[in-house]
Amino acid sequence: MPHRLFRLLTVVWVGSLLTIGYAAAPVLFTSLDRVSAGAVAAQLFRIEGVLGAVCGILLLGLANVLVRRGGHAYRRLRWLIAGMLVCVLVGYFALQPFMNAMRIAALEAGSDVGHSAYATRFGILHGVSSLFYLVESLLGVALVWKLPVGTGVVGAEQGARSAAENVTG
């Protein structure tokens, strides 16, 4: 059962990460004005940050449980999860608050952040944040790719075949 929960949390985290970052956000910026799209995208990335932090912590805990139960394949996955979690924590809890503060200060001054005194700093932070998001995404794809295949349905099918062979042979 823990391996199924591990897989579910993995696909929820990585799926939402890829969907929001590479599908929803670009559509927002092609469909809405830049200020509105930025505000909605910031909300989506805030949700993604919380979801990533929760999933990352739960996945690390589950990986430890699975390793203690003999699931040695989960040992190497912990490093991918830890890397993803670091990216979330830096992006969401370190960079995002500064970006939001600049966005709010620019709006209070009567301008959007792209045409304010904060434009250069915001652009740099946005670039660094995007880099962390890209690294997190690549680690997420690697995590999904390296999920163990010998557990769950495949393992149950192999177990059923072994039992059938023992009965007939």
Query: Residue ranges of the domains in the chain?
Result: 2-147
**CA 159 remoteness from chain centre:** 33
pLDDT of residue 153: 40
pLDDT digits (tens, 9 = 90+) for 111-123: 888 888 888 999 9
Cα-Cα-Cα-Cα torsion 51, 57, 62, 63, nearest 10 degrees, comes to 110
pLDDT of residue 154: 40
Is the pTM higher than 0.85? The answer reads: no
Residue 99 has pLDDT above 50, yes or no: yes
Q: Is there a contact between 96 and 49 (Cβ–Cβ < 8 Å)?
A: yes
For the chain, give percent helix, strand, coil, nearest 5. 85, 0, 15
pLDDT digits (tens, 9 = 90+) for 106-156: 888 888 888 888 889 999 999 999 999 999 999 999 999 999 886 544 444
pLDDT of residue 164: 47
Residue 166 has pLDDT above 60, yes or no: no
Q: Which two tokens stand for residue 136?
A: 């997190």
pLDDT digits (tens, 9 = 90+) for 21-77: 999 999 999 999 988 998 899 899 999 999 999 999 999 999 999 999 988 889 999
pLDDT of residue 35: 84
pLDDT of residue 129: 94
Which long-range contacts link 105-114 to residues 24+ away (Cβ below 8 Å)?
112/34, 112/35, 112/38, 113/38, 114/34
pLDDT of residue 1: 80
Conformational region of residue 33, where left means phi above 0, alpha means psi within -120 to 50, and beta covers everything else: beta
Q: Is there a contact between 20 and 45 (Cβ–Cβ < 8 Å)?
A: yes
Residue 169 has pLDDT above 90, yes or no: no
pLDDT digits (tens, 9 = 90+) for 8-24: 999 999 999 999 999 99
